[in-house]
Each structure stands twice: as C-alpha cells, then as structure tokens.
Amino acid sequence: MATRKNSTDDPLAPVTLAVGQEDLLLDRAVQQVVAAARAADADTDVRDLTPDKLEPGTLAELTSPSLFSERKVVVVRNAQDLSADTIKDVKAYLGAPAEEITLVLLHAGGAKGKGLLDAARKAGAREVACPKTTKPAERLSFVRSEFKALGRSATPEACQALVDSVGSDLRELASAVSQLVADVEGTIDEAIVGRYYTGRAEASSFTVADRAVEGRAAEALEALRWSLSTGVAPVLITSALAQAVRAIGKLASAPRGARPGDLARDLGMPPWKIDRVRQQMRGWSADGVATALRAVADADAGVKGGGDDPEYALEKAVVAVSRAARSRGGR
C-alpha cells in the first residue's frame, strides 16, 4: 500500500503530493482523495489533467471561486513534465490554495521538475510515497497487505505462489488477490492458488485479456461474459486488458535479440511471460497498440461511472483490442 511520509493524514488536505513511479499506487493515491471528497460532497467535480492539458492560466481558471461553492479535486499527472510557465502557476497556487479545492500532484520523484517537488514539500503538502517495487520481498509484502486490506487470510506459501505465478506487475497482483478473495471462501492456501491458475482460468480477467490481444475476438467475448457472470469486477477486466496491451508495447520496443532473462529483468516480467507476450505480439503494430490503449482507457472510464452500460463498454474494448491485434495483417 502507498505509505505517507509525513504526519498529515487528511486526504482532503489542500495539496496532496504523490511521489514515485508505481502506477497502481499513484492511482490509488488519487482514488483516496476523490473518495474522501465525494464522501464530503457527492457532487465533487474531478478534473484529471496531463501536462499537455494544463497550459499557463488553466490552473487559475480551475481553482477560481465558484458561484455554487462546489468542491473540486484537480489532479495533475506527470507534474515533472509541466512547462516552466505552468510550474510558476502551480508554485503560486501552493502559496495560497483555494478553499473547497484539493490539488493532487503526481510526480515521478527524480531530478526533473525537482523545483516543483521541493516547493510543494515546503508548502506543507500531504505526501504519499509510491515507489516502484523492485525486490521480490517487496512484492510479497504487497500481496500480504492486499489480502489483509480485504479482510482475508492467506498462507505464506499461497502469497509466494501468487507472486511466482503472476510476476512483478502490482496491478496484476492486486487483480489476482481480488479475484481469489471474490471466488474463494476461507483461508487461501497454496493448493487453491495452484488450482485457480490452472483449473479456473476461464473465469479470469487475464483470460479475457489474453484472448483479446491474441486477436481471438469470439473467445475473448465468451470469456468476458463468463467472467462477468461469475462476479468478476469490470474494473479488473479493464486493468487486465491494459496490462496485456502495455506488455506488448514494452516488448515491441525492447532491443532485438536480447535474452529472455535480460528482458525479464529490464521489463519487470517473469521469463515465462516474456515468452507468452512474444507469441501474442506477432500481429501487432505500433498504431495498433496506441489504438488499443485508447479503447481500454475509454472502457475504463465507462466502467468507473462515465457510461451507462459497463458491460457494453467492455465488449467494445475487447472487440477493439482484438482488431488491433491484427493491425499488422499477420493474422
């Protein structure tokens, strides 16, 4: 779980600074603030911005007083990539944050944009650490904390088996834990983990993603409907789709001829996954990856409240990803 680095423990603090490169933890830091804001005001307006959407003057517009005194959360992703003029705007805002507005800055934590990072800390921002997990022991600790957070018991052997089976991606690990908790009663042990990933794959969000990125639309849709009928949360399926497409993008951009062991280390994937993704990526093009990521992003917004029919949003994404898997014409 993301850990706080200072004593400020209020998600509704005027400014939250999420620092690190672990996407899952960064997203959770944002979700915590948004949930707290909407608990205080169900009509909270959330603006989620990337550097290209935040021009000089935009922040002042977003944080100007409202006639309706509405609560607002303004999320700025990749704050280290903001332009110099926009950084000046943000620094000025830090000195006099507006009431009923929570600013969330997501910063990679490196040397780039360090002036903004230092300014936010000096201004007393609530800070959440979101470091990249690089060690097996850290991933094991993460899995244990996920089970604990969901109020379930899992044996040490089960936690280790899950890490060994799923790999180093925290989103995949979190999805796997959620899947097991949803489908299995009582203490989760190593045998259950083994059976689940060999005998229950048809109900897994990862199966939906695998069939989609392989261009097997009919099978992917069948797996999707089965997963939904067995209670798999739609957000887990969009997460699995995103992970599968990103894995193809990562491997496609890796140096040709690199050894599986080196790729596994550099890309943060277990060797068995390198082999699987290499087979899945044969029909993909760079444009196909970009198209698929956009489709998954649209579906993710749809299942998180941006649309009226989450299941339809997922079906559209699965079809789009399956088509993108044939974008090179190799299937």
Is residue 266 over pLDDT 80?
Answer: no
| pLDDT tens sequence across 195-231 | 776 544 334 688 889 899 999 999 899 888 877 876 6
pLDDT for 326 beyond 90: no
Q: What is the pTM of this model?
A: 0.58
Residues whose CB is less than 8 angstroms from the CB of residue 329 and which lie 6 or more positions away in sequence, other chains included: 283
Q: What is the DSSP string of 11-32?
A: TTSSEEEEEES-HHHHHHHHHH
Q: Where are the beta strands (DSSP E) in the chain?
A: 3-4, 15-20, 45-49, 72-76, 101-107, 126-130
pLDDT at residue 306 in the model: 64
* Least confident range of 120-124, 230-234, 273-277: 230-234
Angle at 43 between CA 37 and CA 116, to 5 degrees: 45
Higher-confidence position of 113 and 183: 113
Residue 308: phi and psi, rounded to 5, are -90, -20
Radius of gyration, CA atoms only, the chain:
21
Average pLDDT on 285-300 reads 93
pLDDT digits (tens, 9 = 90+) for 21-71: 998 999 999 999 999 999 999 989 999 999 988 889 999 998 887 656 678
CA-CA distance, 33 to 126, in Å (whole number)? 11
Residue 45, amino acid: D
For the CA atoms of 323, 241, 279, 139, the dihedral, rounded to the nearest 10 degrees, stands at 170
Predicted local confidence at residue 203, as pLDDT: 46
What's the average model confidence in pLDDT over 243-252? 88
